[in-house]
Homo-oligomer: A and B are copies of this chain.
């Protein structure tokens, strides 16, 4: 096993901040995941972050996630027990011990949830994930691009109900798990995509948990040094500055288990006479300035405070906030024709071709 580092409870603040940036407005409030992970690390000790390259080809690796509308997740804090329930049930189903935990989504709440499970289960956590960001649906994983089945999957709620799914496609897993999650009250914990070390080495987006930590540290240290956190973040990510403006209008609805809507920003500085519109389905999908499409999914759009550089989720967008929108490139796996079919703008109903940032 190639150990990258030990992650302590005090490291989680930076990781959660970075997770909110890669969460691209969605993925749930990282605060919830952070609380759960901090509690688990305090109780069970630090989490060993490892490189996927060091895993045996026949190792059993299992991602763990929270599913649901972010708006609901933050109001429905999971209990301690349910966290390990889904994980242990899948282990029994697989009939052999799980060797490592994997992050399914390095954005929002799911950037920190896997730390809670890894700590409680006493297992290493792989430094990487299956998205390199957050996406709203569970088939939207690089694992799907490599033919890994999302099932057997175990889904648990906070009341003690659990479901084992076995489906004919990852799109069907999404449909059935979404319906169950809505019925369960809007959020659920799940383990899915059990895979071999060999499969993980092909599919995993590398180093995203370390990247989360680095984003958080950069913002924190730059603020402490009275530097320019926005510039530091843009530099770290190789991001493009899209807009500086105030929230003029924000429209959101919970629909089909998703937080859907759009935000409109009125420009400041260089963009004084301009308007930016960002559409979202849990995550920011499309950014359009004065009617011109600038960025589309799967490239990442993040919205940050103009003074602190701190990320803002769609839930916390408020009228009058002064914010900066940035964009940066997705993992190359998403830029293939299969990747674009799975997570490109047409999947989300936009009559738009993806143009790489």
Contact = CB atoms under 8 A, between A and B. Distances in A.
A94 B346 CA distance: 45
A165 B165 contact: no
Contacts of A166: 161-164
A176 B162 CA distance: 10
A349 interface: no
Contacts of A163: 163-166, 176
A167 B163 CA distance: 8
Interface stretch (A124-132, A179-187, A314-322): A179-187
B179 A168 contact: no
Interface string A148-165: 000000000001111111
Interface of A: 159-168, 172, 175-176, 178-180, 182-184
Identify whether the interface residues of A are mostly helix, strand, loop, or mixed.
Answer: mixed
Copies of this protein in the assembly total 2
A166 B164 CA distance: 8
A167 B176 contact: no
9 A-B pairs with the lowest CB-CB distances in the bound complex, closest first: A164-B164, A179-B183, A160-B168, A179-B179, A161-B167, A162-B166, A175-B183, A161-B172, A159-B168
Nearest to A172: B161
Nearest to A93: B164
A180 B176 contact: yes
Contact of A161 (B160, B165, B178, B182): B165
A183 B183 CA distance: 12
Nearest to A168: B160
A182 B182 CA distance: 13
A166 B167 CA distance: 17
A214 to B, nearest CB: 40
A324 B164 CA distance: 46
Contacts of A165: 161-163
